[in-house]
Amino acid sequence: MSKITGFMTFERETPGERPVAERVGDWQPIQLHLPAERLQTQAARCMDCGIPFCHKGHILNGMTSGCPINNLIPEWNDLIYRGLWRQAYDRLRKTNNFPEFTGLVCPAPCEAACTLGISDPAVTIKSIEFAIIERAYEEGWVEPAVSTRRTGKRVAVIGSGPAGLACAEQLNSVGHEVTVFERADRPGGLLMFGIPNMKLGKTLVQRRIDVMIAAGVHFLTGVEVGVDIAVEELNRDFDAIVLCIGAARPRDLTVPGRHLDGVCFAMDFLHGNTKSLLDSTHTDGRYLSAAGQDVVVIGGGDTGTDCVATALRHGCRSLVQFEIMPRPPEHRAPDNPWPQWPRIYKMDYGQAEAAAVFGDDPRAYSVQTTELLGDEAGRVRGLRTVDVAWRANGDGRSSPQPMPGTTREWPAQMVILALGFLGPEEELLSGLGVTRDGRSNVATLGGRFQTGAPRVFAAGDARRGQSLVVWAIHEGRAAAREVDHWLMGETNLP
């Protein structure tokens, strides 16, 4: 146990972020960090509650509650309180391959499930987790997980996002020869190109990749399986194949005017922006710029927020974000009790920045786009929308119903579609003989990780659908365990 009166003695303190006026002018990370002594005080608020709901990830009411990778949170909180940073890192490393990623971009469902959160602000788990891994790098505790033996088995991991990296690191640690195929020119997948630099610095991603390379993991970038290398070649040269290709098919907007120039998918906008930033600090001009334009982002979630923050840094003229759902309440509704994820109104970093720049939260709630309007040159000039009310259908579900007399037009020279994703792309699945389930994700046997195709496994968003980075790490670790057992007849992987 940490301090016996911890949460009664100390108030919750979070590290905070750089001032908006400063950070919207650059692409540097926005997070600030607390010094060690104040982190120890925060760790003291974790008081061995007896049933640590933070440990275990569950889906409650459609949202994650608790930690999907079963981080030993009370244990390393107690160790930090006592100043035992190395031991805390050892505990953290047992369950989490990449604390530097979850410590920055995870929405912290562990904090939502913290028992203290029933009546008081939760323990600041996320910031402590990030501080532990940063201290570990500074002290030289992060070492390549080099196996003392080699099995002679070769595994191809397709995709280098969080699921692929976790799977590759685990399999390499028990002696398999692992090659990660990535079609982009840098490894990291979503971590490298899908999340903007100000939210997750790319030096952190590359730092982890370098550790994995030193451990013996091979990365082949700029190689698209099925295009640059034949599926038959993979089947010939590898004993197992793991699909960690994400859910890259974006959900489209089927309204008149969708064909107009200036309408783009969120990932095209974000990927191009980060690649140009890394390649040339934007001097090559090879990205979709929102500079001087009226921008509308259609869709919420983390991806929509990242688009808002990116457009602001380009210097957009105005910015609106459409949410088809109603505005959440200020406090938990009766049907959203602890330890469910709190469905309450809040502003993420992008909305906070937009409010500071333009004077208000950029989100317009209960709004549905009905048409994209174009000019004579075939470029988008605006949108037509209608307000909606959510009403119950006969099957007990609710759907948005247009409200008469609420049609509006909005100026826009750039429209960014952040409407979610519909599973993995088709070409590679067809080539491998892999089928889809009812939700268009990769179908696996018995809900586990092996597909119906010989030697082919799947993990991450490709298997479970669009989800959190922490779930992707969970998937990669679990798939690695199953692959190891399939190859060797037994496994010691956690």
**pLDDT confidence of residue 471:** 97
Q: In sequence order, which ranges of 291-387 are alpha helices (DSSP H)? A: 301-314, 349-358
Mean residue pLDDT across the chain: 95
Q: pLDDT at residue 110 above 60?
A: yes
Q: Residue 379 pLDDT more than 60?
A: yes
Indicate whether 288 pLDDT > 90: yes
Q: Report the predicted TM-score, pTM, of the whole model to 2 decimal places.
A: 0.96
Pairing of strands 367-374, 398-402: unpaired
Distances (CA, A) of 110 to 17, 74, 106, 339: 21, 11, 10, 10
* Two tokens, residue 407: 């049609």
Residue 6 has pLDDT above 80, yes or no: no
Pick the range with the lowest mean pLDDT from 51-55, 232-236, 343-347: 51-55
Grade residue 467 by pLDDT with cuts at 50, 70 and 90: very high
188 phi and psi angles, rounded to 5 deg: 125, -20
Q: Could you tell me the pLDDT band of residue 464, with boundaries at 50, 70 and 90?
A: very high
- What are residue 9's phi and psi, to 5 degrees? -95, -40
* Rounded average pLDDT over 373-378: 97
Residue 372 to residue 290: CA distance in whole angstroms: 18
Q: Answer yes or no: are the C-beta atoms of 11 and 120 closer than 8 Å.
A: no
In this predicted structure, the answer to whether residue 454 has a pLDDT above a threshold of 90 is: no
How many residues are recorded in the chain?
494
Cβ-based neighbours of 104, under 8 Å, separated by 6 or more: 29, 31, 130, 199, 200, 204
User: Is pLDDT above 90 for 330?
Assistant: yes
Q: CA–CA separation, 10 vs 37, rounded Å?
A: 13
pLDDT at 48 over 90: no
Q: Reply yes or no on whether the pLDDT at 13 is more than 70.
A: yes
> Which of 391, 416, 418 lies closest to 402, judged by CA?
391
Nearest to 366 by CA among 330, 384, 390, 342: 390
Whether the per-residue pLDDT at 4 is higher than 90: the answer is no
pLDDT at 316 over 80: yes
Task: Give yes or no for a cis peptide into 328 (omega within 30° of 0).
Answer: no
Q: Is the pLDDT of residue 310 over 90?
A: yes
- d(Cα 266, Cα 415) in Å, to the nearest integer? 9
Alpha helices, DSSP H, located in 159-265: 162-173, 202-215, 231-237
- What integer pLDDT is reported at residue 1 of this predicted model? 57
Domains of the chain, each with CATH number or no CATH: 6-139 (1.10.1060.10), 154-248+422-488 (3.50.50.60), 263-417 (3.50.50.60)
Q: Are 108 and 469 in contact (CB under 8 A)?
A: no
pLDDT given for residue 356 in this prediction: 97
Q: How far is CA 245 from the centre of its chain?
A: 14
Residue-wise pLDDT for 121-134, tens only, equals: 999 999 999 999 99
Cβ count within 10 A of residue 406:
14
pLDDT bracket for residue 2 (50, 70, 90): low
Q: Is the pLDDT of residue 5 over 80?
A: no
For 137-176, how does the pLDDT look when each residue is reduced to its tens digit (9 = 90+)?
Answer: 999 999 998 998 999 999 999 999 999 999 999 999 999 9
Q: What is the largest CA-CA distance in the chain?
A: 71
pLDDT digits (tens, 9 = 90+) for 262-286: 999 999 999 999 999 999 999 999 9
Place of tokens 């937009």: 354
Give the type of residue at 399.
S
